[in-house]
Every structure is written in C-alpha cells, then in structure tokens.
C-alpha cells in the first residue's frame, strides 16, 4: 500500500464501439454547440423577415419591430418550458414522429413525419440562402451569384456527408461561441454608440401601401416565427447527452432559449432605435454589424462567421433527415433502401435524396431567402403542435402527481403553436405557403401507400407464419451461356457442376463455320458437359437463349442460368467489355422465373 503496489481487482476491458461510452456523449455546452446552431443562426434572417413585413406600411412602422419580437420571445419561452416536459417524458428522443406514433396514432405520425421531412429540406435551403446573403453583404460582387454560391455549398455538404465525415461537438463549439460573441458584441457595442459607425448598402425607398393594422402585425409575427426553428432539436436527441441525460438536456434547452431570446430582443431594440430599414445588397444584420463595428475587419469577420454558422446549421439536416428516413423505412413507410448504410455509418440514399430536393428548391426559388421562409416555418409549427398535444394526452391518460399543471403548460404551448401555425398559413398562403399545404398531404399519402404495399407483400409472402415444407422438383438443371472454349468456360462450368445435378452449356452462333469450329474444339476439350449450339439467323443472342431457357423450365423443373462475366481490375477498362451478360440477366429476370446468377471472372489487367 505504501509503495502503491496494492493489488487491484482485475476486470476485463471490452473495447467500445465508436459512439459508445460517456466520454463520447455531450455535455450541456457541447449539446448547445451541436444541436442549437439551427435555432441560434435564425437571428440572421428572423428579425429581417419582421422588418420586411412591417416596411409595407412605411419605415415609420418599423417601431413595431420590438413589440412583435417580444411576442415571439414569449412564444419561445413557452416552447422552451414545454420541450423541457417533452425531454422528461421521452428521454429516448422526443421527435414529433416518435411522440405522435406513441401518443396520437398512425395518422398523426404520418403528419409528423411529413412535416419533419419538409422542415429538414427547408432548413438546408434557408440556411444556405441566408449564408449566401451574409457572404454577399461582405463581398457585394457575389450578390449576382447567390444561387451558384448556394449550390456550391450544397455540393460541399453532400460530398462531406457521403464520405461519412461526422460533425464533432467539440469542433462546433468554437464557431458557435464566435457567433454568439459576435451577435452579442454587435448588440452591446451598438447600444453604447450614439449613432451608427457606418452605413452599408444602397438606399431603397419604401412608400406605404398598407396601414399598420392587425393584419400587418400578424404578418410580421408569422414571418418572425421563422426564428423559432430548431428549438425542438435538443428534445429529439436526448440520448446523445451524458448522464444525467434529462437534466443536461433540459439545461441545454434553457440555455438555448435564453441566448436566442436575448439576441432577438437586442437586435429588435437596435432596429427600432436606429430605424434600420432594408437596403440593397446587404442584410439587416450586416447593417447592424456595420453600425457597431464600422466597415473594418470586424465587419468582414462577423459576416464570415455568420456564413460559416449558417453552413453548419444546414449540415444538421444531413444528420437528421437520413436517420428519420431510415426510421420510416424500418416502419415500412419509405423504401427499405433508405435504411441501408454504407461501410461508414452513412445513410447515403437519404443524403442523396436530401441534396437533390434542396437543390431543386433552391433552383425553383432562385435562392431567395424571403421566398423560402413562408414555406419554412409551417412544417416546424406542425411538429411543435404535435409534440405538445402528445404530451397533453400523455398527462391526461397517466394522471401522475401534478399532471394538471404539466398538462396546462403543454396545452398552452399547443394552443399558441396552433395559433401561430394558422396565422402563418393564412397570411403567407399566397406567398408560397400553399406549397407546404400541398406537399405535406402528398407525403402522408406516399408514406401510407408504401406501408400498404409492404403490408400486402408481407401477406403474400406469409411473413410471420410457418410455411409448408419446400417442394422438390426433381433434378436441377444449370444452363451456362458460352461463346467459345476458354478459361472463362472452364471457370463457369466448374462453378455450375458444384451447383446443380445436370449442367448444359449453350452457345448461339449465326455462322455455320463458327458453329463447326466450336463443336470441334468442345469435342477436343471434352469437359463432360453437353453443349447445345443454337442457330440464330438474325444474329440475336438474348432471345434464342431466353427461348431455350423457357423450354427447359416448361415442365416445372428447377432451372438456374449461370452467366459468366469478365471483370477487369481497373474501372477504366469496364467500358471495353461487352455488356451482353448483364442484358441477358435483365431479360431473363423480367421474362422467366428461373434463377439467374452472374459469375465474375476477374482479370489481372
């Protein structure tokens, strides 16, 4: 004991898989960095959406920015408290799809899944478009190429995620901290100034064509609600936190709400005090940044940080949507290929589907952030409402201690998010919200039809039931299409003899001289396998073999066709090989019920 040589209890050390163990899970600060970028980065476009709505009544109406923002922050506080309840009830992850499936039934689950798919796709599009706006504010020459910038950023994210390079919370902590420091720095420094340090952008005139009434206030509120996107991400990922998971996740949710609320109110105060109106080629956030820091290096650094964080916020969807699609595939609501993972833990079909959909959306809207925002928030509020309603039903069914108080919290959240969603839908319907109204039911119908198909397939295949003993159809026959005597023929016949009771080689030739030469070479070789040579006057290869196979399988005999294929070692030589084997295999599978096998013969070239 004195010399530190006391015997220790020997325990076998089992190596952990990647992602296992507490050290790989998130602390509260790491969770804030990894899961809150979508929500925190919304300050880059949420306040601007409010300003663009209010300026329809003239620049004097911008004084209403602060009251509208305060209403949004009140809704944010309600959501934060409500999602704290979601975290406690669903410590295994409380996504809208999982909550609806458990508490609200299959129809609500389909609605939750459809809204999440729309939300994830629009998160990518909006974040990239807002990032391009921030970049163009620092470098005006890029203003005309915002769509190209978005597509390049999307391509970069797609390549990175297809290669399986996952984001690390520790890596994200630095850009998150820089972003929060930059935004709070803008607020504090600008408040300390008596007037803006600099003005950027070109002047635009905004004659009033609407009155500042209730309808315009509701439009501004609905536009600004885009700043609430991503609040649910922490509740969706509770299992990624270290123990005690629920407490850490709730603490992270509170930190997110506090930071986002302070930034939104601070920016709204500056907009009201400095009468910040939209200007050409710059964002509202860029104007506030110039007002605080001037147009020196801090201005460019802040815009670049905002661009980087928006790019990382777009990347969160590449981690979320492919996983959701794999869950839908597991529940037979999407094609099962979306549940396949590559050697790296990547759902590549889901990544590709997200990238393609986001690209089409960016092309359709010309990467215009303000055309995308009306589509963005509606899907988010559907998920908000489903999560809160699911919790209300959970409390009323179980009735634990204090259930009325908890149900009141979640019920209030459900009512507020429903009202916000209805306001969004009615005020933004003609501005693009109708697309979501059409897309969500179509996705629900798609999920339901796919599930119905898989159910019917399961019934026809008798899945879950013990089948009758297999039928014996006599001796099996293996047919090997060949062209000439070679090592390839030897390789194919050797494999065929190991597979079936009887093997027949089949060759198709239109030239009588070639038929005789093949027969003579076969007799000299004498492999112990019968050779049938088919005459093809029209020089067709596929159809004569198909007809031969059909005749062989006519009496119900078990027939297999073994097609040898030459495979070069280098891909650049593949185009030099004929593809008749693949064509024959495709036709046989579509026109017959025989077993079709492709046998590779790998070259050293």
pLDDT bucket at 472, cuts 50 / 70 / 90: low
- Residues 557-572 have a mean pLDDT of 84
pLDDT digits (tens, 9 = 90+) for 582-598: 888 888 888 888 899 98
pTM, full prediction: 0.77
> What pLDDT, on the 0 to 100 scale, is given for residue 474?
66
Q: Residue 11: what pLDDT?
A: 45
Domains observed in the chain: 24-380+428-454 (1.20.1740.10), 476-602 (3.40.50.620)
The residue whose two tokens read 């919790």 is 391
pLDDT band at 167 (very low <50, low <70, confident <90, very high): low
Query: Which tens digit of pLDDT belongs to each residue from 226-270?
Result: 888 888 778 777 777 888 888 888 899 899 999 999 999 999 999
Q: Are 80 and 255 in contact (CB under 8 A)?
A: no
Task: For residue 477, list its beta bridge partners.
Answer: 502, 559
Residues in contact with 236: Cβ distance below 8 Å, sequence separation at least 6, in sequence order: 93, 94, 95, 320
Looking at residue 449, its pLDDT comes to 92
pLDDT of residue 360: 93
pLDDT band of 168, cuts 50, 70, 90: low
Residue environment code for 503-527, b if the CB has 16+ CB neighbours within 10 A, otherwise e: bbbbbbbeeeeebeebeeebeeeee
Q: Average pLDDT, stretch 560-580?
A: 79
Vertex 528: Cα angle to 525 and 531 (nearest 5): 80
Mean of the pLDDT values across residues 205-215? 74
Identity of the highest mean pLDDT range in 16-20, 541-545, 558-562: 558-562
Q: What is the pLDDT of residue 584?
A: 87
Rounded CA separation 500/559 (Å): 9
| 3-26: b (≥16 Cβ within 10 Å) or e | eeeeeeeeeeeeeeeeeeeeeebb
How does the average pLDDT of the chain come out, rounded? Answer: 82
Tell me how far apart the alpha carbons of residues 269 and 581 are, in angstroms, rounded to a whole number.
71
Residues in the chain: 605
Quick check: 371 pLDDT over 50?
Answer: yes
Reported as a pLDDT band with limits 50, 70 and 90, residue 398 is confident
- Per-residue pLDDT band at 93 (split at 50, 70, 90): low
Greater model confidence, 158 or 500: 158
pLDDT at residue 63 in the model: 87
Asked if residue 200 lies in contact with residue 279, where contact means CB atoms within 8 angstroms, the answer is yes
pLDDT, tens only, 101-132: 777 888 888 888 888 888 888 888 988 998 89
> Average pLDDT in the 563-580 region?
77
Which tokens sit at 180? 């929060």
285 close to 134: Cβ distance less than 8 angstroms: yes
Percent of all residues in the chain with a pLDDT value above 70, rounded to a whole number:
91
Q: Given a cut of 50, is residue 17 above it in pLDDT? A: no
Q: In this structure, what token pair is assigned to residue 581?
A: 């084997």
Task: Answer with the residue of higher pLDDT: 319 or 293.
Answer: 293
Q: Are 150 and 367 in contact (CB under 8 A)?
A: yes
* The residue to which tokens 């972003």 are assigned: 179
**408, pLDDT greater than 70:** yes
pLDDT over 70 at 165, yes or no: no
The average pLDDT across 343-364 equals 84
Please tell me the least confidently modeled range out of 139-153, 176-190, 396-410. 396-410
pLDDT of 361 strictly over 60: yes
Q: Which of 94-103, 309-318, 395-404 has the lowest mean pLDDT?
A: 94-103
């Amino acid at each position: 004991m004195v010399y530190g040589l006391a015997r220790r209890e020997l325990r076998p050390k089992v190596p952990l898989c990647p992602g296992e163990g507490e050290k790989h899970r998130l602390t509260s600060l790491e969770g804030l960095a990894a899961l809150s970028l979508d929500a925190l980065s919304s300050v880059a476009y949420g306040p601007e959406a409010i300003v663009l709505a209010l300026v329809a009544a003239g620049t004097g109406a911008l004084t209403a920015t602060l009251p509208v923002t305060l209403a949004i922050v009140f809704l944010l506080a309600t959501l934060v408290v409500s999602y704290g309840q979601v975290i406690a009830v669903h410590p295994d992850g409380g996504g809208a799809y999982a909550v609806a499936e458990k508490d609200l039934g299959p129809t609500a689950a389909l609605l939750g899944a459809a809204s999440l798919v729309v939300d994830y796709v629009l998160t990518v599009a909006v974040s990239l478009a807002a990032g391009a706006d921030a970049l163009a504010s620092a470098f005006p020459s890029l203003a005309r190429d915002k769509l190209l910038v978005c597509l390049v950023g999307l391509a970069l994210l797609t390549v990175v995620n297809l290669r399986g390079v996952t984001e690390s919370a520790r890596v994200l902590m630095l850009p998150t901290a820089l972003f929060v420091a930059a935004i709070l720095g803008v607020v504090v420094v600008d408040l300390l100034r008596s007037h803006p340090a600099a003005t950027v952008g070109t002047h635009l005139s905004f004659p009033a064509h609407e009155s500042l009434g209730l309808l315009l206030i509701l439009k501004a509120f609905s536009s600004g609600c885009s700043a609430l996107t991503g609040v649910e991400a922490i509740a969706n990922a509770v299992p990624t936190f270290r123990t005690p998971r629920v407490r850490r996740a709730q603490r992270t949710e509170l930190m997110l709400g506090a930071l986002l609320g302070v930034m939104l109110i601070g920016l709204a105060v500056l907009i009201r005090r400095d009468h910040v109106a939209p200007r050409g080629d710059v964002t509202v956030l860029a104007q506030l940044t110039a007002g605080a820091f001037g147009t020196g290096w801090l201005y460019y650094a802040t815009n670049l940080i905002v661009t980087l964080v928006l790019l990382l916020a777009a990347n969160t969807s590449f981690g979320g949507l492919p996983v959701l699609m794999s869950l839908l595939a597991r529940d037979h609501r999407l094609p099962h290929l979306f549940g396949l993972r590559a050697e790296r833990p990547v759902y590549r079909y889901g990544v590709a589907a997200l990238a393609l959909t986001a690209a089409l959306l960016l092309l359709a809207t010309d990467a215009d952030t303000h055309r995308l925002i009306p589509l963005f928030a509606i899907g988010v509020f559907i998920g908000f409402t489903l999560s809160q309603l699911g919790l209300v039903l959970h409390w009323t069914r179980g009735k634990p201690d204090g259930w009325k108080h908890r149900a009141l919290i979640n019920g209030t959240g459900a009512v507020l998010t429903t009202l916000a969603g209805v306001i969004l839908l009615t005020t933004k319907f003609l501005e693009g919200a109708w697309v979501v109204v059409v897309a969500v039911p179509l996705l629900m119908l798609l999920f339901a039809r796919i599930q119905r198909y898989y159910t019917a397939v399961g019934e026809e295949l008798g899945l879950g039931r013990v089948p009758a003993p297999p039928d014996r159809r006599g001796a099996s026959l293996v047919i090997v299409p060949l062209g000439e005597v070679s090592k390839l023929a030897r390789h194919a016949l050797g494999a065929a003899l190991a597979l079936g009771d009887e093997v027949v080689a089949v060759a198709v030739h239109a030239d009588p001289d070639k038929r005789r030469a093949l027969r003579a070479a076969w007799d000299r070789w004498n492999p112990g396998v019968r050779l049938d040579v088919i005459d093809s006057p029209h020089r067709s290869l596929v159809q004569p073999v198909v007809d031969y196979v059909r005749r062989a399988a006519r009496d119900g005999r078990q027939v297999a066709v073994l097609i040898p294929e030459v495979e070069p070692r280098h891909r650049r030589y593949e185009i030099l090989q004929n593809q008749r084997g693949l064509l024959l295999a495709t036709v046989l599978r579509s026109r017959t019920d025989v077993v079709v096998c492709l046998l590779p013969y790998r070259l050293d070239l």
